[in-house]
Amino acid sequence: MDRYKLKSDLLEDRKNIVHDVANKIEGIGKTGMMKAMYFLQQVYKVPLGYDFRIHSFGPFDEDVLAAIDFAEKKGLIDVVPEDYSDGVSGYSINATKNEQVLLSEYSEPISDLLANFGEYTAKEWELTSTIVYLYVAYMDNGWDLDELDENVKRIKPRFELEEIQKERELLNKLGILDRAV
């Protein structure tokens, strides 16, 4: 298959999934969308082809931003600047009302994502995705998990250790950590 055709098909799938997530998680921001794509790929095994790296706000791949832009250009979503009550500026992403859910084959993982994380703030998405990212790295490298929470704290110093532990325990209880590896 022509590699440009493959890349084009992948971009089409990505923009459709961006729409589907925005359709299910109304008003999701760009940080939330970034983490939703990370979770869909890493935890729910949706074949998105992203190459996430750790970033100041958790796992990041600039191609997610390209998919958001592409979905917006195709009229599938609206991306609107928004000022939040805590003084932070961001974006609100919503599916356009004239479109139906496009990828029913991924509706189950997207619904599961919504059930587990649909009410999360950008800050909560940031912490949760960082825990999952580091957990996967620890498991892949055979490292001792006793230091996981402390290393999340080093990367995310604005979070309290107890908050990190509580979120990791929730992720473990939900089976998210096991599914991510």
Predicted pLDDT at 4: 44
pLDDT for 2 beyond 60: no
For residue 36, what pLDDT is reported?
Answer: 97
Measured over the CA atoms of residue 11, residue 14, residue 18 and residue 24, the dihedral's sign is positive
| pLDDT at 3 > cutoff 60 | no
* Alpha-carbon gap, residue 170 to 50, rounded angstroms: 26
Per-residue pLDDT tens over the stretch 81-101: 998 777 788 899 999 975 555
pLDDT at position 68: 97
169 pLDDT higher than 50: yes
Give the tokens for residue 54. Answer: 């750790």
Q: What is the pLDDT of residue 11?
A: 87
Instruction: Measure the CA–CA gap between 80 and 111, rounded to whole angstroms.
Output: 24
Q: How many helices (H) and strands (E) does the chain have?
A: 8, 4
Q: What's the pTM value of the predicted model, to 2 decimals?
A: 0.90
What angle, rounded to 10 degrees, do the helices at 30-42 and 107-117 form? 120
pLDDT in tens, 99-143: 555 566 788 999 999 999 999 998 999 999 999 999 999 999 999
Instruction: Determine the residue type at 12.
Output: E
Residue listed under structure tokens 């805590």: 86
17-72 tens-digit pLDDT: 999 999 989 899 999 999 999 999 999 999 999 999 999 889 999 999 999 999 99
pLDDT at 104: 63
- pLDDT score, position 125: 95
